């Protein structure tokens, strides 16, 4: 993500002016990027009663549900327009959020997707965890989860890379993580910090001397690789952080120490039992993000995604297949955004 030219904001289903909208507005204002404000939502009761009522009643119920959300989106766009920001709006009937987002991303090809993280309410955190985890697993473009209390533009950005021994296959992903961090720091006119976690804690004083020596040798080797990587990318020495311990514990601690507003991580997808599995670090960060969280993908992600999901079927079911106007076709082909009788 060298340049942000297009942003997709996932509007909050509660229809509130949330952190995701504020972030999208400010990043668009700073970069000149186009902004698409999309509300993905559906009513489970309407879906469940589809077989019990007439098609006309079903369509009326859906049209009324959609109209309320379209009107709210229009009011948000009007506020942005008054601030000089042009935002296109759309509503997508989305029983499965991650599928609808995939379809929309393939249609719009945004450089960045922004979504709200849940607040401190435990019930909201639990309810949002699984949808967020699926989004982070499948979203084909960089996805940023923003906290309610975070500043609209980041000033201190932390890029978490893995440059340890045996990580040569992660080199392209590391570069994407750092490039994305630099792009976001440029937006906020801030700084980029680089972090690498050495996951093995120092042996205790009672450990064998050979073990302590081996630990020191391996750690020195990791530091050498880390410093060499930082040198190649001209990272200021005061902004290089080799941290000891499990990254899911140490990265949040470093975020707090640096007062970082954005943590950039990456996922080299892997396949298990025909599904994508995120790394344990990303899984835990999604549950409790220490600050805004941006995840980027390794190269070739779409090729792997197409082996696991029927992309054409998803695009067709959500009315977002190539050449389809989302304003006239949504979840089911032929379904209008708002019934002409209600306009």
How far are the Cα atoms of 86, 123, 127, 184, 276 from residue 288, in angstroms, in the given order? 33, 13, 13, 21, 21
CA angle 301, 304, 307 (to 5 degrees): 150
- pLDDT attached to residue 326: 39
Contacts of 32 (CB under 8 A, 6+ apart): 5
Which of 185, 179, 144, 259 is CA-nearest to residue 30? 185
DSSP conformation letters of 192-230: EEEEEEE-SPPPPTTS-HHHHHHHHHHHHHHHHHHHHHH
pLDDT in tens, the chain (343 residues): 678 999 999 999 999 899 999 999 999 999 999 999 999 999 888 877 766 777 788 788 888 999 999 999 999 999 999 888 889 999 999 999 999 999 999 999 999 999 999 877 777 677 788 888 889 889 999 999 999 999 999 999 999 999 876 667 778 899 999 999 999 999 999 999 999 998 776 666 656 777 778 878 888 989 999 999 999 999 999 999 999 888 888 999 999 999 999 999 987 655 443 344 456 678 788 888 899 999 998 888 888 888 888 999 999 988 876 444 433 333 333 333 332 232 2
The neighbour count for residue 293, using CB atoms within 10 Å, is 22
3-state helix, strand, coil in the chain (%, to 5): 45, 20, 35
Rg (CA), the chain: 22
**CA within 13 Å, CB half, 156:** 15
pTM attached to this predicted model: 0.86
Q: And the tokens for 55? A: 């098609």
Q: How far apart are CA 338 and CA 43, in angstroms?
A: 15
- pLDDT attached to residue 293: 96
């Amino acid at each position: 993500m060298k340049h942000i030219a297009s942003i997709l904001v996932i509007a909050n289903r509660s229809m509130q002016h949330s952190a995701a909208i504020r972030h999208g507005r400010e990043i668009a204002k700073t970069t000149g990027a186009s902004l698409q404000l999309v509300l993905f939502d559906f009513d489970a009761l309407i879906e469940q009663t589809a077989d019990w009522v007439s098609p006309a009643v079903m369509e009326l119920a859906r049209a009324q549900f959609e109209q309320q959300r379209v009107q709210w989106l229009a009011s948000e766009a009007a506020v942005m327009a008054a601030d000089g920001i042009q935002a296109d709006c759309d509503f997508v009937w989305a029983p499965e959020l991650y599928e609808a987002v995939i379809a929309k991303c393939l249609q719009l090809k945004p450089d960045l997707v922004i979504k709200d993280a849940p607040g401190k309410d435990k019930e909201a955190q639990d309810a949002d965890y699984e949808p967020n985890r699926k989004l982070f697993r499948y979203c084909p473009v960089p996805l940023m989860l923003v906290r309610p209390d975070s500043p609209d533009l980041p000033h201190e950005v932390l890029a978490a890379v893995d440059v340890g021994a045996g990580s040569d296959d992660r080199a392209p992903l590391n570069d994407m993580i750092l490039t994305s961090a630099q792009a976001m720091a440029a937006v906020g006119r801030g700084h980029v910090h680089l972090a690498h976690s050495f996951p093995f804690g120092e042996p205790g004083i009672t450990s064998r001397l050979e073990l302590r020596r081996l630990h020191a040798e391996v750690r020195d080797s990791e530091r050498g690789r880390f410093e060499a990587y930082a040198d190649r990318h001209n990272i200021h020495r005061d902004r290089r952080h080799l941290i000891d311990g499990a990254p899911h514990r140490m990265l949040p601690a470093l975020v707090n120490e640096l007062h970082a507003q954005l943590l950039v991580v990456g996922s080299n997808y892997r396949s298990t039992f025909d599904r994508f599995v995120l790394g344990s670090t990303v899984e835990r960060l999604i549950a409790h993000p220490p600050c805004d969280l941006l995840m980027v993908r390794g190269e070739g992600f779409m090729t792997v995604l197409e082996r696991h999901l029927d992309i054409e079927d998803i695009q067709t079911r959500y009315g977002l297949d190539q050449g389809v106007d989302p304003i006239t076709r949504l979840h089911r082909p032929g379904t209008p955004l708002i019934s002409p009788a209600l306009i």
